[in-house]
Amino acid sequence: MEIAGGLNDGTGEMNESKVENSAGQDIKIKVLFFARARDLTGVSETSLEMPDGSTAGDCMRNLLVKFPSLQEIYNSMVLAINEEYAAESTLLTSKDELAIIPPISGG
Amino acid sequence: MASAAAEMDLVDILDASSGPIDIARYVDFVRDPAAGAIATFEGTTRDTFEGKLVEELRYEAYVPMAARRLAAICAEARGSWPLLRLAVAHRLGTVGVGEASVFVAASAVHRAEAMEACRYLIDEVKASVPIWKKEVYENGEVWKENKEFLERRAAHHEMDPAHELKETSNGEE
Protein backbone atom coordinates (compact mmCIF):
# COMPACT_ATOMS: atom_id res chain seq x y z
CA MET A 1 0.00 0.00 0.00
CA GLU A 2 1.48 3.27 -1.03
CA ILE A 3 0.48 5.17 2.07
CA ALA A 4 2.12 2.63 4.31
CA GLY A 5 5.17 2.74 2.06
CA GLY A 6 5.39 6.51 2.50
CA LEU A 7 5.36 6.25 6.27
CA ASN A 8 7.80 3.38 6.24
CA ASP A 9 10.57 4.91 4.22
CA GLY A 10 12.54 5.77 7.30
CA THR A 11 12.87 9.49 6.71
CA GLY A 12 10.39 10.17 9.50
CA GLU A 13 8.83 12.89 7.39
CA MET A 14 5.16 13.33 8.01
CA ASN A 15 3.90 15.45 5.14
CA GLU A 16 0.71 13.46 5.37
CA SER A 17 0.22 14.83 8.86
CA LYS A 18 -3.51 14.40 8.59
CA VAL A 19 -3.02 11.09 10.40
CA GLU A 20 -5.06 11.57 13.53
CA ASN A 21 -3.58 9.16 15.99
CA SER A 22 -0.03 9.06 17.30
CA ALA A 23 1.50 9.50 13.87
CA GLY A 24 4.59 7.48 13.06
CA GLN A 25 4.57 5.35 16.20
CA ASP A 26 4.37 1.60 15.99
CA ILE A 27 1.01 0.08 16.75
CA LYS A 28 0.54 -3.00 18.88
CA ILE A 29 -1.86 -5.65 17.62
CA LYS A 30 -3.12 -8.76 19.38
CA VAL A 31 -3.40 -11.77 17.08
CA LEU A 32 -5.59 -14.78 17.82
CA PHE A 33 -5.19 -18.20 16.23
CA PHE A 34 -8.06 -20.67 16.14
CA ALA A 35 -8.42 -24.35 15.30
CA ARG A 36 -6.04 -25.39 12.51
CA ALA A 37 -4.25 -22.04 12.71
CA ARG A 38 -3.43 -22.72 16.35
CA ASP A 39 -2.23 -26.23 15.50
CA LEU A 40 0.09 -24.78 12.87
CA THR A 41 1.57 -21.99 14.97
CA GLY A 42 1.55 -23.84 18.27
CA VAL A 43 0.12 -20.80 20.05
CA SER A 44 -3.39 -19.48 20.57
CA GLU A 45 -2.30 -15.87 20.54
CA THR A 46 0.62 -13.57 19.89
CA SER A 47 1.22 -9.86 19.55
CA LEU A 48 2.71 -7.85 16.73
CA GLU A 49 4.26 -4.42 16.60
CA MET A 50 3.57 -2.92 13.23
CA PRO A 51 4.25 0.47 11.66
CA ASP A 52 1.38 2.93 11.87
CA GLY A 53 -0.66 2.64 8.69
CA SER A 54 -0.28 -1.11 8.42
CA THR A 55 -3.07 -3.18 6.95
CA ALA A 56 -4.40 -6.55 7.94
CA GLY A 57 -2.58 -7.90 4.90
CA ASP A 58 0.71 -6.42 6.13
CA CYS A 59 0.16 -8.21 9.44
CA MET A 60 -0.60 -11.44 7.64
CA ARG A 61 2.63 -11.22 5.65
CA ASN A 62 4.48 -10.58 8.89
CA LEU A 63 2.82 -13.61 10.48
CA LEU A 64 3.73 -15.79 7.52
CA VAL A 65 7.38 -14.96 8.14
CA LYS A 66 7.06 -15.62 11.86
CA PHE A 67 5.00 -18.80 11.34
CA PRO A 68 5.72 -20.19 7.85
CA SER A 69 3.44 -23.16 8.48
CA LEU A 70 0.46 -20.78 8.20
CA GLN A 71 1.00 -20.96 4.45
CA GLU A 72 -1.02 -24.16 4.54
CA ILE A 73 -4.23 -22.25 5.29
CA TYR A 74 -3.41 -18.90 3.71
CA ASN A 75 -5.61 -19.51 0.69
CA SER A 76 -8.59 -20.78 2.63
CA MET A 77 -8.58 -18.57 5.72
CA VAL A 78 -10.15 -15.20 6.38
CA LEU A 79 -9.31 -12.38 8.77
CA ALA A 80 -11.32 -10.60 11.42
CA ILE A 81 -10.51 -7.33 13.16
CA ASN A 82 -12.23 -6.58 16.46
CA GLU A 83 -14.70 -9.41 15.91
CA GLU A 84 -15.81 -8.40 12.41
CA TYR A 85 -14.67 -9.94 9.14
CA ALA A 86 -12.16 -7.68 7.42
CA ALA A 87 -10.44 -7.49 4.06
CA GLU A 88 -6.65 -7.61 3.88
CA SER A 89 -6.72 -3.95 2.82
CA THR A 90 -8.24 -2.82 6.13
CA LEU A 91 -6.07 -0.41 8.09
CA LEU A 92 -5.24 -1.34 11.67
CA THR A 93 -5.03 0.89 14.70
CA SER A 94 -3.34 0.29 18.02
CA LYS A 95 -4.83 -2.36 20.30
CA ASP A 96 -6.83 -3.90 17.45
CA GLU A 97 -7.50 -7.61 17.76
CA LEU A 98 -6.75 -9.55 14.59
CA ALA A 99 -8.10 -13.08 14.34
CA ILE A 100 -6.85 -15.73 11.96
CA ILE A 101 -9.92 -17.65 10.92
CA PRO A 102 -9.35 -20.95 9.15
CA PRO A 103 -12.31 -22.49 7.29
CA ILE A 104 -15.16 -22.69 9.77
CA SER A 105 -17.22 -25.74 10.57
CA GLY A 106 -19.99 -24.84 12.96
CA GLY A 107 -23.32 -26.56 12.94
CA MET B 1 -36.84 -0.97 16.71
CA ALA B 2 -33.72 -3.04 16.26
CA SER B 3 -33.13 -3.37 19.98
CA ALA B 4 -36.76 -4.29 20.69
CA ALA B 5 -36.49 -7.10 18.17
CA ALA B 6 -33.19 -8.21 19.68
CA GLU B 7 -34.97 -8.94 22.96
CA MET B 8 -36.94 -11.53 21.04
CA ASP B 9 -33.76 -13.28 19.88
CA LEU B 10 -32.03 -15.76 22.18
CA VAL B 11 -28.47 -16.66 21.23
CA ASP B 12 -26.59 -19.11 23.42
CA ILE B 13 -23.06 -20.37 22.91
CA LEU B 14 -22.85 -23.15 25.46
CA ASP B 15 -19.48 -23.93 26.96
CA ALA B 16 -18.03 -27.40 27.05
CA SER B 17 -19.30 -28.10 30.56
CA SER B 18 -22.92 -27.26 29.76
CA GLY B 19 -24.01 -30.75 28.81
CA PRO B 20 -26.63 -31.57 26.14
CA ILE B 21 -28.61 -28.74 24.61
CA ASP B 22 -31.87 -28.17 26.46
CA ILE B 23 -34.07 -28.23 23.40
CA ALA B 24 -37.26 -27.45 25.29
CA ARG B 25 -35.76 -24.20 26.59
CA TYR B 26 -35.34 -22.86 23.07
CA VAL B 27 -38.67 -24.10 21.78
CA ASP B 28 -40.36 -22.53 24.79
CA PHE B 29 -38.49 -19.29 24.21
CA VAL B 30 -39.93 -18.88 20.73
CA ARG B 31 -43.42 -20.02 21.67
CA ASP B 32 -45.73 -17.05 21.29
CA PRO B 33 -49.50 -16.62 21.48
CA ALA B 34 -49.40 -14.84 18.12
CA ALA B 35 -47.53 -17.71 16.45
CA GLY B 36 -49.22 -20.24 14.22
CA ALA B 37 -45.92 -21.96 13.63
CA ILE B 38 -42.66 -22.93 15.32
CA ALA B 39 -39.99 -24.30 12.99
CA THR B 40 -36.90 -25.97 14.41
CA PHE B 41 -33.63 -27.50 13.23
CA GLU B 42 -31.31 -29.73 15.21
CA GLY B 43 -27.82 -30.56 13.93
CA THR B 44 -26.59 -33.90 15.22
CA THR B 45 -23.29 -35.76 15.20
CA ARG B 46 -23.41 -38.61 12.74
CA ASP B 47 -21.44 -41.82 13.13
CA THR B 48 -19.69 -42.02 9.77
CA PHE B 49 -17.95 -39.75 7.33
CA GLU B 50 -16.73 -41.15 4.00
CA GLY B 51 -16.77 -44.67 5.39
CA LYS B 52 -14.82 -43.78 8.53
CA LEU B 53 -16.33 -44.34 11.94
CA VAL B 54 -16.72 -41.06 13.81
CA GLU B 55 -16.21 -41.33 17.55
CA GLU B 56 -17.10 -37.77 18.44
CA LEU B 57 -16.99 -34.16 17.34
CA ARG B 58 -15.19 -31.47 19.29
CA TYR B 59 -16.24 -27.86 18.88
CA GLU B 60 -14.49 -24.60 19.67
CA ALA B 61 -15.40 -21.00 18.91
CA TYR B 62 -14.19 -17.43 18.77
CA VAL B 63 -16.92 -16.80 21.26
CA PRO B 64 -17.39 -13.02 21.24
CA MET B 65 -17.37 -12.87 17.44
CA ALA B 66 -19.64 -15.90 17.14
CA ALA B 67 -22.15 -14.25 19.47
CA ARG B 68 -21.96 -11.07 17.42
CA ARG B 69 -22.47 -12.96 14.16
CA LEU B 70 -25.43 -14.90 15.54
CA ALA B 71 -27.12 -11.70 16.69
CA ALA B 72 -26.52 -10.17 13.26
CA ILE B 73 -27.89 -13.24 11.50
CA CYS B 74 -31.07 -13.06 13.57
CA ALA B 75 -31.42 -9.39 12.63
CA GLU B 76 -30.92 -10.30 8.96
CA ALA B 77 -33.64 -12.93 9.19
CA ARG B 78 -35.99 -10.34 10.66
CA GLY B 79 -35.20 -8.08 7.74
CA SER B 80 -36.27 -10.78 5.32
CA TRP B 81 -39.35 -12.30 6.96
CA PRO B 82 -42.04 -11.31 9.43
CA LEU B 83 -40.98 -13.28 12.49
CA LEU B 84 -41.96 -13.39 16.11
CA ARG B 85 -39.14 -14.98 18.13
CA LEU B 86 -35.82 -16.64 17.31
CA ALA B 87 -33.44 -18.86 19.23
CA VAL B 88 -30.07 -20.32 18.26
CA ALA B 89 -27.95 -22.45 20.58
CA HIS B 90 -24.55 -23.92 19.72
CA ARG B 91 -22.76 -26.29 21.99
CA LEU B 92 -18.96 -26.32 22.40
CA GLY B 93 -16.67 -29.11 23.51
CA THR B 94 -17.32 -32.78 22.85
CA VAL B 95 -20.58 -33.74 21.15
CA GLY B 96 -21.10 -37.49 20.86
CA VAL B 97 -22.81 -39.44 18.11
CA GLY B 98 -26.52 -38.69 17.97
CA GLU B 99 -26.24 -35.62 20.15
CA ALA B 100 -27.16 -32.09 19.11
CA SER B 101 -24.41 -29.57 18.41
CA VAL B 102 -26.71 -26.80 17.24
CA PHE B 103 -30.37 -25.99 17.66
CA VAL B 104 -32.40 -23.35 15.86
CA ALA B 105 -36.00 -22.35 16.51
CA ALA B 106 -38.15 -19.69 14.84
CA SER B 107 -41.74 -18.69 15.40
CA ALA B 108 -44.00 -16.74 13.09
CA VAL B 109 -47.65 -16.25 12.39
CA HIS B 110 -47.43 -18.52 9.35
CA ARG B 111 -45.33 -21.60 8.73
CA ALA B 112 -43.68 -20.48 5.48
CA GLU B 113 -41.73 -17.68 7.18
CA ALA B 114 -40.89 -19.77 10.22
CA MET B 115 -39.45 -22.55 8.05
CA GLU B 116 -37.56 -20.21 5.72
CA ALA B 117 -36.05 -18.28 8.63
CA CYS B 118 -35.06 -21.50 10.34
CA ARG B 119 -33.27 -22.64 7.19
CA TYR B 120 -31.63 -19.25 6.72
CA LEU B 121 -30.31 -19.27 10.28
CA ILE B 122 -28.64 -22.66 10.02
CA ASP B 123 -27.30 -21.94 6.54
CA GLU B 124 -25.73 -18.75 7.85
CA VAL B 125 -24.26 -20.53 10.87
CA LYS B 126 -22.58 -22.87 8.40
CA ALA B 127 -21.31 -20.07 6.21
CA SER B 128 -20.20 -17.36 8.61
CA VAL B 129 -20.13 -18.05 12.34
CA PRO B 130 -16.59 -18.61 13.69
CA ILE B 131 -17.07 -22.02 15.22
CA TRP B 132 -14.92 -25.03 14.30
CA LYS B 133 -15.35 -28.76 14.70
CA LYS B 134 -12.80 -31.51 14.78
CA GLU B 135 -13.97 -34.93 13.64
CA VAL B 136 -12.39 -37.67 15.74
CA TYR B 137 -11.93 -41.19 14.37
CA GLU B 138 -10.36 -44.24 15.92
CA ASN B 139 -7.01 -43.46 14.36
CA GLY B 140 -6.99 -39.77 13.62
CA GLU B 141 -8.76 -36.46 13.78
CA VAL B 142 -9.30 -33.64 11.32
CA TRP B 143 -10.64 -30.09 11.38
CA LYS B 144 -13.73 -29.95 9.18
CA GLU B 145 -14.38 -27.20 6.66
CA ASN B 146 -17.91 -26.15 5.74
CA LYS B 147 -18.38 -25.93 2.00
CA GLU B 148 -20.81 -23.04 2.62
CA PHE B 149 -17.90 -21.03 4.04
CA LEU B 150 -15.53 -21.96 1.22
CA GLU B 151 -18.10 -21.10 -1.45
CA ARG B 152 -18.86 -17.74 0.14
CA ARG B 153 -15.18 -16.97 0.53
CA ALA B 154 -14.55 -17.79 -3.12
CA ALA B 155 -17.42 -15.54 -4.19
CA HIS B 156 -16.15 -12.62 -2.06
CA HIS B 157 -12.63 -13.04 -3.32
CA GLU B 158 -13.77 -12.64 -6.90
CA MET B 159 -15.74 -9.52 -6.01
CA ASP B 160 -13.06 -7.84 -3.92
CA PRO B 161 -11.29 -5.21 -6.01
CA ALA B 162 -8.51 -4.92 -3.45
CA HIS B 163 -7.73 -8.56 -3.98
CA GLU B 164 -7.45 -8.13 -7.73
CA LEU B 165 -5.34 -5.02 -7.40
CA LYS B 166 -3.04 -6.91 -5.12
CA GLU B 167 -2.53 -9.62 -7.69
CA THR B 168 -1.75 -7.28 -10.58
CA SER B 169 0.33 -4.67 -8.83
CA ASN B 170 2.60 -6.57 -6.53
CA GLY B 171 0.94 -5.93 -3.21
CA GLU B 172 0.58 -2.19 -3.50
CA GLU B 173 -2.74 -0.44 -3.90
pLDDT of B159 strictly over 80: no
Is residue B135 a contact partner of residue B142, using CB atoms and an 8 Å limit?
yes
State residue B3's pLDDT score: 57
Q: What is the pTM of this model?
A: 0.85
Could you tell me the residue ranges of all domains in chain B?
4-145
Q: Could you give the ipTM of this predicted complex? A: 0.87
B68 CB near a chain A CB, below 8 Å?
yes
* Whole-number Å distance between alpha carbons of A30 and B4: 34
Amino acid (one-letter) located at B108: A
Nearest CA in chain B to A33: B62
Which residues in B lie closer than 8 A to residue A99 (C-beta atoms)? 62, 65, 130
Report the residue of chain A nearest B130, measured CA to CA.
Answer: A104
DSSP assignments along A43-54, one per residue: -SEEEEEE-TT-
What architecture does CATH give domain B4-145? Alpha-Beta Complex (3.90)
d(CA B145, CA B136): 14
pLDDT per position as a tens digit, A48-64: 999 999 999 999 999 99
Q: Tell me phi and psi for residue B47, to 5 degrees.
A: -90, -5
Q: Check CB contact under 8 Å for A101 and B62.
A: yes
Cα–Cα distance measured from residue B140 to residue A40, given in angstroms and rounded to the nearest whole number = 17
The answer to whether residue B137 neighbours chain A at the CB level (below 8 Å) is: no
